[in-house]
Amino acid sequence: MADKYDGDLIQESLELLKGAALREALLSAIKQADEAQDHYYRMFFRYQYAAEVYFHDDPPKAMPAAIEFSSIFEEYPDLFGSAGGEMYIMIMQLAVDPVVSLPQIPISQWEEMMDQYYQLIKRFNIGHRTYWSQKSQFMIYIDKEKAFEYFQRFWKTGRDDLSDCRACERSFAVRMHLLMGDEEGAAVHAKPIKQRRLSFCKDTPHRMLKAYIEYAMDKGDLKMAIPYARELKRIGHRDRGDLSYIGAVLRCFAFSDLEQGVKLMANSFPWAAGLWDEKMAYDFYKGAGAVLHQLSRKEEHIPLTLPEQFSCFRNDGVYPVKELEQWVYGQAEDIAGRFDARNGTNFFKDNLGLAVNYSY
Amino acid sequence: MGKEYHFQVNLGGMLDILSNHLYKSADVFLRELLQNGTDAIALRKRREPGWDQGAINIRLKPGRKIVFTDNGAGLTKEEIHQFLSVIGQSSKSGMLDRRLQEDYIGRFGIGLLSCFMVSDTIVVHTKSIDGKKAYVWKGKPDGTYTLKRLEDSKEGKGKDIPTGTSVILTAKEGCEEYFQEETVTRLVQYYGLMLPVPVRLNKEKKPLNQIPEDFMQMGRGKLLAFGEWLFQEKFLDVVLFHTKHLSGAAYVLPYKTDSSVKNGHRIYLKNMLLTDQGTPLLPDWAFFLRCFFNTAELRPTASRESFYEDGELEEARQEFSDTVKQHFRHMSKDNPETLHKIVSVHYDAIKSMAVWDDEIFDMFIDYLPFVTSEGRMTGAALKHAGSASYIGDVPRFEQLKPVFIAQNRLLICSGYAFDEQLIPKLAKRFHLPVVPLHEEDMGKVLKGIPAEERREAQRMLAAMNEGLKEFDCRADLRSFQPADLPALYSISDDVRFLRQVQGAKESSNGVFSAALSSLLSGNSGKALAGLYLNYYNPLVQRLLSVQDDELLRSMAKVLYVQALAAGGHSLHNKELRALSRELLYLVDGIK
């Protein structure tokens, strides 16, 4: 006789796992719950898996699990009681959010997804504030005035149980004010984070630090970027989900601490292999390109352990620095081109232009 | 120009901010009293060189009243108006070129207000060393206060009033627990254990806050005993700190902890407890330690529950890392058995350090355990194991383990936390022939078959590949153990994700299904999955002699679904339908 399915036991067994082992175990847990037709755990493990890959691996990988959660939830809407609506919207956010980083998904489809997502928000009457933040984050690369308008709507809408943590919201506010060139406005929002007057989640103060580094480097102010980069280096290279942060640090370290920059790049480079989140890959390549550019002035070759998935892979593990720099920028250019084509703007092309202006 | 007006401050509102937003709990009222008392004693010491009788006494009427007395500098009438009655004005601010004296703890002038969290009135009796008069100040939460001479009040009449300050609090309804001996003892020992002045309860001779005077000179045994008393744990080891910013000890826990654990420490600033949280002072990897530190030259935040992020904090962090590393470096030479014991419990924490720190990596790699096809092996063993492959997928590792054992080859599982970085680092640092095993390389791992047999198998493979086309999969023939395994399915991360997307598309419709189709667009060139048929398997041997192509196509699908299930992959509708269809075909054939 087959053993009785015990979702609680499986859940307990996941508690000490991390990283790749946790993701594999969660996929296996989903499979077992599917086989047992335990709809509560079918949803619960999908929810956990989506959150795990979204925050610690490659965010678009959350999409299939989130969308499957939606189908199961619609069939069994009462299994999570009153918390169900909140869970449902939260996981759908993980399905919608990565679209900004996937240039192959057209804007019209994103708009339709957002409409459907908004229907859910109205249905459960929760998540209004987050909805405006989602819209704002997408528009950053298309129309910054519009993005700021959405940001203001987000800021004016009341908080609810689905809102991001206060520190993340402040980090986002810092980013939006810097986007508009308003350093004073950004400083107002940054102050409680810098003074640690707010509780932090996993992504704060990382987001704020990244926003400051990119802003400072874009305007050629290396001195301003350095303390933020040092702090972000200390806290922001935990797993693959940190590649965007690492990219920002590399961009600054290329000109302020090349030795650490090379080390950080070498250690995190393999994480960029097979990444679906193209914005994250772009951020990393942008920073790695700067490091390689500076390194090429001193060294001709760099030893790296890269996976074969990279088209630049070399069996001997020794890479000509100039050649690798060109390859890395080629990747960034390619991604920038695809984002701009989807968005109908020159945002990424201009952004990359600022990054390769080495006048620090 | 219009008339200038002043803001009115609603003290009730301020108290709400303090209790609900600034401070985490009402416990802090005792911390604030200890802080003010200690600062007053420090001031008196400065003003009366040679005086060294500083002490704090607490008297309790259990559940009702607390009288908190210090024999410090006290306050004059002017100072009472200036410091006790203006929020944000600290008697300790604006001193010595606006730099806070080293031995003062407080700075924000809001501490006394925290007493309103447990008492509806605050009564202060005080006599300054600068004056002969003593005063009684009574403050209420509505912002009003009274002030009169203590000698004229019934509490002070005819008494010889000593220099110093007493704060008298009466329990608010619901706050009686803060006025119990057990609570006060706990809080004094929690917040004020390191204070340089004795704190006594109800005139007991023995202070509540006594720590060994020779703490920094104590031997390992005594330090461990102190740690056991303080944290109620029998620790494995202790690291002593005596740096510019940190003095105290970090204790190594005797059991494994999760990396998310950040609390449970005792971190003091200028002898007063600041926080039990490791962040932001301690690095993320410090979760295997319980720290008892007094810190200096670091800035507290306004709530006095964390540190302000600045260069000093950065230096303190560096000191912490350097000291821990140095300790373990010595231990690896002097006491490798203990180090081995620590690693066996805390290898997760040590691995997390070793990923980014070469020195830690070199120090510990020989001791760190890794999962391999030959069981657990340490880094030292792997250095001498010769060539090996590593794979990050744990179930896949389990599936391939017997194949590698049969081939007498070593497979390392790098799917556990930090191993995915440490194994390549180990290979690179010591130039070891240890390489990643990608799913794309499976063909190389499994033994090929002789050319003649391969030629004979061509027809079978062609027919079977025809059958597998619809699954984006390609069959190949290899020889591997165990022989009873007819086929091995191999899938790259990309193909696996595509399968997940395919599954999600099947279960959804509308815009989300369309978005998943878009997600896959442009991925037609991605690698195919592989189905490796085992030449040693009796079923495969039989199939080699089958001439019926349709039967071979059908069997390919059956073996494909069987290999999927054996490999722990989820089965989609398409595969289940194919299995039913092909089984039916086979049964029809029997007829």
**Computed from CA positions of residues B462, B467, B468, B469, in that sequence, does the dihedral angle turn out positive or negative?**
positive
Query: Which of A102, A115, A196 minimises the CB distance to B301?
Result: A196
Instruction: Give yes or no: residues B28 and B175 share one domain.
Output: yes
Question: Quick check: A230 contacting B, CB < 8 Å?
Answer: yes
DSSP A12-51: HHHTT--HHHHHHHHHHHHHHHHHHT-HHHHHHHHHHHHH
Query: Which of A28, A71, A194 minimises the CB distance to B395?
Result: A28
Cα separations in angstroms, B473 against B94, B219, B447, B477, B489: 76, 66, 20, 14, 9
Q: Which of A59, A117, A47, A50 is nearest to A89 (CA)?
A: A117
Cα Rg for chain A, rounded, in angstroms? 21
Residues in chain B, total: 591
- Contact at CB, B421 and A267, closer than 8 angstroms: yes
CA distance B95 to B83: 14
pLDDT over 70 percentage in chain A: 98
Structure-block tokens of residue B85:
């009655």
Q: What's the pLDDT tens digit per position in A343-357?
A: 999 999 999 999 887
- B410 pLDDT above the threshold of 90: yes
Cβ-Cβ contacts under 8 Å, B353 against chain A: none
CA distance A308 to A316: 11
- Contact at CB, B440 and A308, closer than 8 angstroms: yes
Q: How confident is the model at residue B95 (pLDDT cuts 50, 70, 90)?
A: very low
Nearest CA in chain B to A260: B356
Query: Running DSSP on this structure, what letter comes out for residue B284?
Result: G
Query: Which of A30, A105, A235 minimises the CB distance to B518?
Result: A105
Name B139's Cβ contacts closer than 8 Å, sequence gap at least 6. Answer: B84, B85, B112, B121, B122, B123, B124, B145
CA distance A31 to A252: 44
Of B91 and B9, which is predicted with more confidence? B9
Helix axes B311-334, A222-235, angle to 10 degrees: 40
Q: How confident is the model at residue B23 (pLDDT cuts 50, 70, 90)?
A: low
Q: How confident is the model at residue B158 (pLDDT cuts 50, 70, 90)?
A: low
CA distance B234 to B224: 8
Query: Which of A19, A67, A307 minimises the CB distance to B516?
Result: A67
Cα-based angle B224, B227, B231 (whole degrees, multiple of 5): 145
Task: Decide if B315 is inside a domain.
Answer: yes
Query: Looking at residue B426, which CATH number applies to its domain?
Result: 3.40.50
Q: What is the pTM of this model?
A: 0.66
- Contact at CB, A24 and B518, closer than 8 angstroms: no
- What pairing do the DSSP bridges indicate for beta strands B369-372 and B65-70? unpaired
CA of B401 vs chain A CAs: smallest distance (Å): 16
Mutate to test the interface with B, among A27, A55, A57, A243 (most CBs of B within 10 A): A27
- Contact at CB, B515 and A105, closer than 8 angstroms: yes
Cβ-Cβ contacts under 8 Å, A240 against chain B: none
Instruction: Give yes or no: residues B269 and B330 share one domain.
Output: yes
Amino acid at B250: A
Q: What's the pLDDT tens digit per position in B279-312?
A: 889 988 888 999 999 998 898 887 677 888 888 9
- In which residue are the tokens 């797993």 written? A239
**Cα A348–chain centre separation:** 17
Query: Looking at residue B469, which CATH number applies to its domain?
Result: 1.20.120.790
- Contact at CB, B503 and A64, closer than 8 angstroms: yes
Within 10 Å of residue A169's Cβ, how many Cβ atoms?
Answer: 20
Nearest CA in chain B to A274: B494
Task: Decide if B508 is inside a domain.
Answer: no
Q: Which of A288, A299, A296, A293 is nearest to A332 (CA)?
A: A288
- End of a domain among B320, B340, B360? B340
- Contact at CB, A197 and B494, closer than 8 angstroms: no
CA distance A145 to B348: 47
Residues in chain A, total: 360
**Cα B259–chain centre separation:** 4
CA of A26 vs chain B CAs: smallest distance (Å): 12
Of B3 and B549, which is predicted with more confidence? B549
Asked whether B457 and B544 are in contact (CB, 8 A), the reply is yes
Interface of A with B in 55-114 (CB under 8 A): 60-61, 63-65, 67-68, 70-72, 95, 99, 102, 104-106, 109, 112-113
Cβ-Cβ contacts under 8 Å, B494 against chain A: 274
Q: Please report the pLDDT score of residue B572 as a whole number.
A: 74
CA distance B231 to B509: 56
- End of a domain among B393, B414, B437? B437
**CA terminus-to-terminus distance, chain B:** 108
Burial of B589 (0-12, 13-18, 19+ CB in 10 A): exposed
Query: Which of A67, A197, A305 minimises the CB distance to B428?
Result: A305
- Contact at CB, A195 and B418, closer than 8 angstroms: no
Helix axes A206-218, A222-235, angle to 10 degrees: 150
Instruction: Give yes or no: residues B187 and B261 share one domain.
Output: no
Cβ-Cβ contacts under 8 Å, B355 against chain A: 267
Instruction: Give yes or no: residues B42 and B155 share one domain.
Output: yes
- Which neighbouring-strand residues pair with B137? B124, B147
Cβ-Cβ contacts under 8 Å, A63 against chain B: 501, 504, 515-516, 519
Instruction: Give yes or no: residues B25 and B162 share one domain.
Output: yes
Instruction: Give yes or no: residues B488 and B551 share one domain.
Output: yes
Query: Which of A20, A237, A307 minimises the CB distance to B436?
Result: A307
Question: Quick check: A152 contacting B, CB < 8 Å?
Answer: no
pLDDT in tens, chain A (360 residues): 345 788 888 888 787 677 777 888 898 899 889 988 999 999 999 999 999 999 889 999 999 999 999 999 999 999 998 889 999 999 999 999 999 999 999 999 999 999 999 999 999 989 999 999 999 999 999 999 999 999 999 999 988 888 888 888 999 999 999 999 999 999 999 988 887 777 677 677 899 999 999 999 999 999 999 999 999 998 877 888 899 999 999 999 999 999 999 999 998 998 998 899 999 999 999 999 999 999 999 999 999 888 777 889 887 889 999 999 999 999 999 999 999 999 999 999 999 999 887 777
Instruction: Give yes or no: residues B197 and B253 share one domain.
Output: no
The overall average pLDDT reported for chain B is 85
CA distance B246 to B112: 28
Amino acid at A162: L
Cis peptide before A270 (omega within 30 of 0): no
Q: What's the pLDDT tens digit per position in B393-405?
A: 777 787 788 788 8
Question: Quick check: A12 contacting B, CB < 8 Å?
Answer: no
- Contact at CB, B508 and A71, closer than 8 angstroms: yes
Strand, helix or coil for residue A209: helix
Instruction: Give yes or no: residues B63 and B101 share one domain.
Output: yes
Q: How many domains does the structure of chain B reveal?
A: 4
DSSP H stretches of helix in chain A: 7-14, 19-36, 39-56, 62-75, 84-96, 107-124, 128-139, 144-156, 166-179, 183-194, 206-218, 222-235, 243-256, 258-268, 278-295, 321-343, 347-355
- Contact at CB, B308 and A305, closer than 8 angstroms: no
CA of B246 vs chain A CAs: smallest distance (Å): 19
Within 10 Å of residue B399's Cβ, how many Cβ atoms?
Answer: 19
Task: Decide if B361 is inside a domain.
Answer: no
Amino acid at B148: K
Instruction: Give yes or no: residues B17 and B146 share one domain.
Output: yes
CA of B462 vs chain A CAs: smallest distance (Å): 28
Query: Looking at residue B30, which CATH number applies to its domain?
Result: 3.30.565.10
CA of A99 vs chain B CAs: smallest distance (Å): 9
Q: Please report the pLDDT score of residue B522 as a whole number.
A: 64
Q: Which of A177, A176, A245, A239 is nearest to A205 (CA)?
A: A245
Cβ-Cβ contacts under 8 Å, A305 against chain B: 424, 427-428
DSSP A309-333: TSTT--TT-EEEHHHHHHHHHHHHH
Instruction: Give yes or no: residues B70 and B177 share one domain.
Output: yes
Query: Which among B117-126, B202-211, B242-251 has the top mean pLDDT?
Result: B242-251
Nearest CA in chain B to A67: B504
Q: How confident is the model at residue B470 (pLDDT cuts 50, 70, 90)?
A: confident
Instruction: Give yes or no: residues B188 and B304 share one domain.
Output: no
Domain span including residue B323 = 215-340
Q: Which of B526, B554, B534, B277 is nearest to B406 (CA)?
A: B534
Query: Running DSSP on this structure, what letter comes out for residue B80?
Result: I
Structure-block tokens of residue B565:
């299930």
CA distance A193 to A187: 10
Amino acid at B366: D
- B461 pLDDT above the threshold of 70: yes
CA distance B398 to B413: 9
Within 10 Å of residue B20's Cβ, how many Cβ atoms?
Answer: 10
Task: Decide if B362 is inside a domain.
Answer: no
Question: Quick check: A267 contacting B, CB < 8 Å?
Answer: yes
Dihedral through CA B90, CA B94, CA B98, CA B101, nearest 10?
-60
Cβ-Cβ contacts under 8 Å, B519 against chain A: 60, 63, 102, 104-105, 276
Query: Running DSSP on this structure, what letter comes out for residue B122?
Result: E
Instruction: Give yes or no: residues B336 and B379 share one domain.
Output: no
Going from N- to C-terminal start, the domains of chain A cover 7-126, 164-232, 236-360
Query: Which of A63, A196, A309 minimises the CB distance to B519?
Result: A63
Task: Decide if B136 is inside a domain.
Answer: yes
Task: Decide if B325 is inside a domain.
Answer: yes
Q: How confident is the model at residue B94 (pLDDT cuts 50, 70, 90)?
A: very low
